[in-house]
Amino acid sequence: MRTIDEVLKSKINGMHYGNRLLLPFCAEILKVSIEDDLIMDFSTEQDDAEYNINDEFTEIYFHKYKSLEEVVTKYEVIKMIVVESGSDLFNFNDHRKVSIDILPNHIAEIKEIEDDQIFID
Amino acid sequence: MLKKIIYLFFFLSVGTPLFASTEDGAKLIEYWYIVLPFVVLLLMIATGPLFYHHFWERHYPKVAIALGSVTVLFYLIVLHDTHSLVHTLAEYLSFIALLSSLFVASGGILIKVDRKATPALNVLILLFGSVISNVIGTTGASMLLIRPFIKINKDRIKPYHIVFFIFSVSNIGGALTPIGDPPLFLGFLRGVEFFWVVQHVWYIWAPTLLVVLGIFFVIDSLNKLGSNSENEYTGKIQFKGLKNIWFLVIIIISVFLDPGVVSWIPSLSPMPFGIREIIMFSVVYFSYKKADQEALRGNEFDFEPIREVAYLFAGLFATMIPALQLIAYEANIFGDELDAGLFFWATGSLSAFLDNAPTYLNFLSAEMGKFAMDVNDKSEVLLFEIEHPIYLQAISVAAVFFGAMSYIGNAPNFMVKSISERAGIQMPSFFGFMVKYSIPILLPIFILIWWIFFYGNG
């Protein structure tokens, strides 16, 4: 299982297929900003999004959208706050802010959120 | 009083022609139902994003164009009136040229501020934003300043920061010039002199802003979040994409390039646009093509907000043609009973929930109809602003100020909300915004404005 640090350091990309985003690390997802939506409720009662942590990756389904490529434009990113599996969820220092660029050919480029891209925990 | 308000609201909400006086209006009386597309579109704009947003997000362009087409076809086939359509098309092109050029040019400028936020610094930023919104529009100023405002407050940000930003920079601030807010620009296009607004509104604008920012200062001073933050600040302010300032200057200069304002500017008639619009649309193209990529990325630039405005206003401009003509027609009937205070509340109440630009134009038409004047005649608009300034003042102030009452009152409100949520800030709901903020804070201020400036006048 890759860590978030390894993914960021080695610039390992995630993938997107339609409304499904695959991240090459395992993490709890606390908050996602996509388009005009700020998603924090991943419960089954909401139909905005759901995520699953698998052995080697984390997958998110954005039910509201058909295709992430159509929704997230050239200058936009998906922003999220994640906590690596095994880390202390309740320690704010373990909360990582990452941005995802949706690129052609199913590539989802993962970066640490830059200073310009404000994302409040 | 209540009866008169009910008359006004009844007209604008149901579409029944209560006002009439021009020839066009007389012809329209028997076809009063042609204002229904306008009413339907306004209601859908108000309710779509709240109650059926999935449908609205996908289909609003089709809805706006379809409703607009109903009115256009009616004018072509039933009334054989192409003049009203061409006149409206020209006005729409001027309107969208200004908004889109300000939006794109300011979207290419990124301001980075690395300073610790204090209540005083926040007030200064809001005041600065309010002033410059008169130069680059409330949309431009909001786009430019909301991110640096969030960033310097990142350790202590709360929804009220954004709410007061919407109150001041996105709305009240822009009441001094026609560039400031779309309703005033529509007034300018109809013939209101450019500097009339600042001359007649500044002494209402200044104390209102002072009170709003004073309240903000008190609330912000009580916010102790982030006071123990160990972050270090360099105090630097950095700009990216500053070359776009030149594009903003070009836009501002081009506003005056109207054959009616500057005699040597050639008219391109019968084309429904002029030199001004060509320049503004060129600015849209070049300011985007030449923009600093890092600035666009930092601003998370997206054409969607301006695309939405372009489609919705295409529908609004078309569907409101009969509404304007009918209002002008029957304003004579109730003319004696309608005073400036009433126009203040009627314009304000509708501007809070419907778009403030068409609302302003409808009530300008009604006010002028009261004095048997025609809003489509520039010389009569000029005469109206000289002879009855209190009426124009009432709707100018109300249309701009009340835009801050809800998320849907003015285009930048939703943009600021959206940018803030993208920055991870959980904003209040539509009703939360009103119940917690705009009604308790703004409404008492607006009642005071009415009492001091308009009560019993006109």
Q: For residue range B313-366, list pLDDT tens digits in order.
A: 899 889 988 887 777 676 656 666 778 998 999 899 888 877 678 788 888 988
Residue A86: pLDDT over 60: yes
Across the range B262-274, mean pLDDT stands at 82
Q: Report how far residue A102's alpha carbon sits from residue B20's, in angstroms, rounded to the nearest whole number.
A: 55
Is B424 within the bounds of a domain? Answer: yes
At residue B15, the pLDDT reads 37
Do B3 and B291 form a contact (C-beta atoms < 8 A)? no
Which one of B26-35, B302-311, B446-455 scores highest in mean pLDDT?
A: B446-455
> Which of B169, B296, B279 lies closest to B243 in space, CA to CA?
B296
> What integer pLDDT is reported at residue B72 of this predicted model?
96
**Cα-based angle B139, B142, B146 (whole degrees, multiple of 5):** 155
**Residue at B183: amino acid letter:** P
pLDDT of residue B13: 38
**Average confidence score pLDDT of chain B:** 86
The per-residue pLDDT for range B6-37, each reduced to its tens digit, is 444 444 433 333 333 456 667 777 888 999 99
- Of residues B457 and B278, more confidence is placed in B278
**B427: nearest CA in chain A?**
A38
**pLDDT mean over B266-273:** 82
Shortest Cα distance, chain A CAs vs residue B62, angstroms: 19
Asked casually if ipTM beats, i.e. exceeds, 0.90, the reply is no
For residue B54, the chain A residues in CB contact (below 8 A) are 64
* Alpha helices, DSSP H, located in B226-303: 244-255, 275-289, 293-298
As a whole number, mean pLDDT of residues A71-78 equals 82
What is the chain B residue with the closest CA to A79?
B422
Q: Using 50, 70 and 90 to split pLDDT, how confident is the model at B272?
A: confident
Other CB atoms within 10 A of residue B407 CB: 22
pLDDT of residue B87: 84
pLDDT given at position B410: 83
What pLDDT is attached to residue B24? 65
Please list every residue in chain B whose beta carbon sits closer than 8 Å to the beta carbon of residue A33.
421-424
The residue in chain A having the minimum alpha-carbon distance to the alpha carbon of residue B152 is A118
B296 and A75 within 8 Å at the Cβ level: the answer is yes
Count Cβ atoms below 10 Å from residue B3 Cβ, excluding itself.
7
Kindly list the residues from chain A whose CB atom is less than 8 angstroms away from the CB atom of residue B147.
Answer: 118
pLDDT band for position B222 (cuts 50, 70, 90): very high
Separation CA B281–CA B273 (nearest Å): 11
Provide the pLDDT for residue A116: 65
SS3 readout for B328-388:
HHHHHHHHHHCCHHHHHHHHHHHHHHCCHHHHHHHHHHHHHHHCCCCCCCHHHHHHHHHHC
Tell me how far apart the alpha carbons of residues B53 and B64 are, in angstroms, rounded to a whole number.
15
Would you call B232 an interface residue with chain A, using a CB distance cutoff of 8 Å? no
Question: Which strands make up the sheet holding A78-84, listed edge to edge?
Answer: A37-39, A27-34, A78-84, A96-102, A107-112, A14-17, A20-23, A58-62, A49-53
Helix ranges (DSSP H) in B403-442? 411-422, 430-433
What is the tally of structural domains in chain B? 1
Rounded Cα distance between B292 and B290, Å, is 7
Where in chain A are the domains? 4-112
B151, B301, B418 member nearest A118 (Cβ): B151
Residue of A19, A116, A117 best to disrupt the B interface, most CBs of B under 10 A:
A116
Q: A118 falls in which pLDDT band (50, 70, 90)?
A: confident
A33-37, B74-78, B139-143, B388-392 — which is least confidently predicted?
Answer: A33-37
The pLDDT assigned to A82 comes to 94
Q: What is the largest CA-CA distance in chain A?
A: 37
Q: Give the model's pLDDT for residue B225.
A: 77
Interface test with A, best of B288, B292, B422 (most A CBs within 10 A): B422
Residue of A nearest to B54 (CA): A64
- pLDDT at res. B331: 63
pLDDT at B328: 66
Greater pLDDT, B360 or A121: B360
A116/B426 touch (CB, cutoff 8 Å), yes or no: no
Query: What 3-state class would DSSP assign to A31?
Result: strand
Structure tokens at A33: 């900003």
Looking at residue B329, its pLDDT comes to 72
Report which of residues A32 and B355 the model is more confident about. Answer: A32
Give the H or E element holding residue B122: helix B119-152
pLDDT of residue B457: 76
User: For residue B295, is pLDDT > 60?
Assistant: yes
Establish if B426 touches chain A: CB-CB under 8 angstroms. yes
Domain that holds residue B164: 2-223+233-454
Residue B277 within any structural domain of the chain: yes
SS3 at position B110? strand
Q: Which residue would you say has higher pLDDT here, B192 or B302?
A: B192
Assess whether pLDDT exceeds 50 at residue B3. no
Please give the pLDDT value at position B16: 36
Q: Is the pLDDT of residue B422 over 90?
A: no
pLDDT in tens, A36-57: 788 988 887 777 889 999 999 9
Percent of chain A's residues with pLDDT above 70? 98
A120–B421 CB contact, under 8 Å: no
Pick from B157, B297, B301: CB nearest A120: B157
Pair of tokens at residue B102? 């300000």
pLDDT of residue B344: 94
